[in-house]
Amino acid sequence: MSGDGGGIEAILREVGALKEGHFLLSSGRHSDRYIEKFELFWRPRAAEAVCRDFAARFAGADVEAVAGPTTGGILLAFEVARQLGARAAYAERADGGTGRAFRRGATFRRGERVLVIDDILTTGGSIRETLAALEPWGVEVVAVAALLVDRSGGRVDFGVPLAPLLQVDIAIYAPEDCPLCRAGVPLVKPGTTALPGAA
């Protein structure tokens, strides 16, 4: 772990969101750590405390709206916007499942100062789609904020400042090269228990 997010890391550990072990990722790869964001989101007081750090960072940035992609970005955008006294907007999956769109009457003013926020950023795909959905409105993106940046996904550049609360390096392995498999550490699919017969 690195960065200035010692307090954030402590909160994630306290609520059980930061997990260590042997995990099967949705990509099919294995990892030694996993962040279960909903362990945080199930605890509104803890989520409020985390969002207080975001709000403090951008208190003087004249943020007028906070936008986040579904799903975790919605919860963060709502709470950070509440603390900043700004509006919240949510980038949902567009029709056809390609890209994202702001729906349900959400609009932006040209030049409006928008903070884009998400929970866990690895490749940056959801954020890029959110930025693309904002582009036609001609807003000014103040920054991209993230609860956690997994640096093992490579450096991401959105063309605007990136403000993570916590940065981590998570070891990710192809199944055939996984040292945890070789060591016999039980494989767990997040959201379930150890996989039957997994070693």
The rounded percent of the chain whose pLDDT value lies above 90 is 64
Tell me which residue has tokens 């799903």. 71
Convert the pLDDT of each residue in 152-188 to its tens digit. Answer: 666 788 999 999 998 888 888 999 999 999 999 999 9
**What are the structural domains of the chain?**
6-182 (3.40.50.2020)
Q: Name the more confident of 4 and 72.
A: 72
Q: CA-to-CA distance for 60 and 67, rounded, in angstroms?
A: 18
How far is it, in rounded angstroms, from Cα 69 to Cα 130? 6
* pLDDT tier at 3, thresholds 50, 70, 90: very low
Which residues of 7-161 form beta strands (DSSP E)? 18-24, 30-35, 65-69, 87-93, 100-102, 113-121, 140-150
Model pLDDT, residue 4: 45
pTM of the model: 0.84
